[in-house]
């Protein structure tokens, strides 16, 4: 059975398996990246044309759900999480 670790969320600490914690961290990173892209696209749309942020949602969804963009976000998050844990483990030695 996999080792348990603590995943801290606001208001509580949850005991989860290490792979689940890594997957949750990757999902959070991908979600934050997609949100940042939306903010950039909405801001750009409002500056260049007379449009609202709500009208940018279909364009944002079309961009974020492209397989190459989604794969880039996921791979970047996976590498970042792996490097952070690798550096933390090497500091303990």
Digit-coded pLDDT (tens) for 22-80 = 899 999 999 999 999 999 988 888 787 677 777 888 989 999 999 999 999 999 999 99
**CA–CA separation, 4 vs 8, rounded Å?**
13
Q: Say if 3 falls within a structural domain.
A: no
Q: Say if 54 falls within a structural domain.
A: yes
State CA 21 to chain mean position distance.
13
Residues in the chain, total: 93
For residue 54, give the nearest of 62, 42, 64 by alpha carbon. 42
Which neighbouring-strand residues pair with 43? none
**CA–CA separation, 75 vs 79, rounded Å?**
6
- Record the pTM: 0.80
* Count of domains for the chain: 1
Q: Say if 83 falls within a structural domain.
A: yes
pLDDT interval class at 90 (50, 70, 90): confident
Q: Say if 8 falls within a structural domain.
A: no
């Amino acid at each position: 059975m996999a080792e348990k670790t603590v995943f801290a969320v606001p208001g509580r600490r949850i005991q989860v398996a290490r792979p689940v914690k890594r997957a949750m961290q990757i999902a959070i990173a991908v979600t934050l990246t997609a949100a940042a892209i939306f903010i950039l696209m909405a801001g750009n749309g409002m500056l260049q044309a007379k449009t609202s942020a709500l009208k940018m949602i279909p364009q944002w969804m079309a961009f974020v759900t492209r397989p190459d963009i989604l794969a880039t976000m996921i791979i970047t998050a996976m590498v970042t999480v792996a490097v952070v844990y690798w550096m933390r483990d090497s500091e303990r030695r």
